Structure 1
Amino acid sequence: MTLFGFSLVLFAAVCHASWNFLVKRIEAGPELVFLFSAMSTLVYLPLALWYGRDIIGFEPIHYLFLFGTVILHTGYFVQLQTGYRHGDLSLVYPTARSTGPLLSVSFAVLVLGEQASVQAIAGGVLIVFGVLMLGGGLKARRGDGTLKSLGFGLTVGCFIGAYTVWDAYAVAHLAIAPVLMDWFSNLGRTMIMTPVALRRRAALRLLWKNHWLEALLVGIISPLAYILVLYAMTFTPVLYVAPLRETSVLLAVLLGAIVLKEGDLKRRLKWAVVIVTGVTLLATG
């Protein structure tokens, strides 16, 4: 893995943790998904038009992958946002981010035929294990919302694993520009969520009044984080990119424990050290 690819994915991880924190802090309904998706579509329209010239040479397989990424990312955002309304950032996020790379790496090796060194595999496993333990491991407590949070986290993780491999194939093998891939995802998600937003007009107006700036920030940095990852995937194997993205958990856990006062900082920092060790092994493997 090159230093440039390593730095690119790490910066994307910071962006990813930041927009997840904002979504959790807003704690709105599905109208939030519509709002920041629409904002993303408008903000990144100039870039989409620039890369849109590639559409001339698209074949049916390209449109199939664009449609697929819309469905997968819509499911991801809706489940993630719902999970944040019913659980802690420092539980839903780590569970999702540990399940996602585990599936991504497995698919990358089994389906895409990518090769992994022993050290890289050890680093990826260590990251996944550390992230899982940050969420409390398997010691879920009944009656306190933990099981519900874990359920949402696991569901979100399945979407992460699916769209990571799906999109990686699209940008690496079909040569769809990452900016175009993400823009179509935002456009399609906006269209899908429009009927929901219309039914929740009062909530949407309240959301705009109180949180338009946070929604705009999410609309900017959420696509940026994923575009950077998609670009990294064009020259870096998925089995390196997927686990390394999970360093975003470090920042998310700190934000959840300190800013949102979810507590248990000492234990979570201990497992953060495990994740950093895994990142080191992965980056030098």
Structure 2
Amino acid sequence: MPLSIFLLVLLAAALHASWNAIVKRGPDKQLGTVLVTGSAAMLSAALLPFLPLPDAPSWPWLAASVALQATYYALVARCYQQVDMSVAYPLMRGSAPILVALVGLLLGEQLALTAWSGIVLISIGILAMALGTRRAQWGMPLLTAGMIATYTLVDAHGARLSGNELSYTLWLFLLSGLPLTVHALIHRRGALRTYAAAHWRLGVIGGIGTTTSYAIALWAMTLVPIAMVSALRETSILFALLISAFLLGERVPRGRWTAGGVIVTGVILLRIAS
């Protein structure tokens, strides 16, 4: 993988972990998600007048992704209501790259052995971070992982057909951010107003982070195999590990730090893979 793409996707991973931490840190996970997605939608609305429409062949993929993304955001909020970030995040993000790679293989996307090795090591390392947790906690994160894999494949193909990856990304965040925001305005207007007054800065930071992170990932997926970008982006778990330990105050067992070393090995393999 070219160094420039490699470094940008790592930046996307750090940004992705940051917005998840913002949701987890807030006292109301659902409203925290609404603030992030609503901010991303407003940012998109401000920028879209300066960009062309995505090409028409990408529109069905965009429509499908809007439904998938809205469901994903709701699942993320539910996950963080039930499970610690240091447990939910590995299960969600560790399962997705393997699913993406296997489906991509069925769709004809070829990977070198080095790339496969890197993807497998990253997934093993991420999943290992959830070892020792109760299996009763696995259901919702694994369901979310399936959603992640599905929307990743849909968006990668949509971006490749769009003619403008940034325009595609912004339309996606505008349209997918509306359902959660409208739902909250209808059912929790007073609570949303109070929560936004206290936490709007974190919502804006999270909205910028998630939009930038995904725009980078989709751009990269138009240049290199989808599975490689998906796996490298999931190294966000390394950043999430640091955030959960040092900012959120969660206890991180020694084994998870060892698993982080496995992930780093996988990252190195992806860097040298052709």
TM-score calculated relative to the size of structure 2? 0.93
1:280 paired to 2:268: yes
Shift of 1:28: 1.7
Of 49, 52, 67, which residue of structure 2 is paired with 1:71? 67
Name the counterpart of 1:188: 175
Per-residue CA deviations over 1:238-257 (Å, capped at 9, x if unaligned) read 12111111211011012112
Give the secondary-structure state (helix, strand or coil) at the position aligned to 1:98: helix
Name the counterpart of 2:155: 167
Q: Is the 8 A contact 2:184 2:192 kept in 1?
A: no
Name the counterpart of 1:258: 246
State, as a whole percentage, how many aligned pairs show the same letter. 32
Q: Is the 8 A contact 1:40 1:223 kept in 2?
A: yes
Shift of 1:151: 1.4
Q: Is the 8 A contact 1:32 1:204 kept in 2?
A: no
Per-residue CA deviations over 1:212-244 (Å, capped at 9, x if unaligned) read 111111111111100010111111111211111
AA at the equivalent of 2:125: G
Q: Is the 8 A contact 2:44 2:171 kept in 1?
A: no
Distance 1:192 1:45 in 2: 15
Name the counterpart of 1:178: 165
1:242 paired to 2:210: no
Shift of 1:15: 0.5
Q: Is the 8 A contact 1:31 1:197 kept in 2?
A: no
Distance 1:273 1:29 in 2: 30
Give the secondary-structure state (helix, strand or coil) at the position aligned to 2:244: helix
Shift of 1:159: 1.0
Distance 1:227 1:28 in 2: 27
Shift of 1:41: 2.0
- Structure 2 gaps of 5+ residues are none
1:116 paired to 2:116: no
Distance 1:39 1:263 in 2: 31
Per-residue CA deviations over 1:171-212 (Å, capped at 9, x if unaligned) read 12x134222222222222233220333210122022112211
Shift of 1:24: 0.5
Q: Is the 8 A contact 2:94 2:124 kept in 1?
A: yes
Distance 2:165 2:21 in 1: 24
Distance 1:195 1:247 in 2: 32
Shift of 1:104: 0.9
Give the secondary-structure state (helix, strand or coil) at the position aligned to 1:262: coil
1:91 paired to 2:87: yes
Q: Is the 8 A contact 1:232 1:241 kept in 2?
A: yes
1:147 paired to 2:147: no
Name the counterpart of 1:10: 10
Distance 2:197 2:170 in 1: 26
Distance 1:64 1:221 in 2: 26
Question: Does the C-alpha gap of structure 1 residues 158 and 179 become closer, same or farther in structure 2, counting only changes over 3 Å?
Answer: same
1:130 paired to 2:125: yes
Distance 1:197 1:152 in 2: 26
- Please, what is the CA RMSD of the aligned residues? 1.7
Q: Is the 8 A contact 1:70 1:184 kept in 2?
A: no
Distance 2:30 2:247 in 1: 24
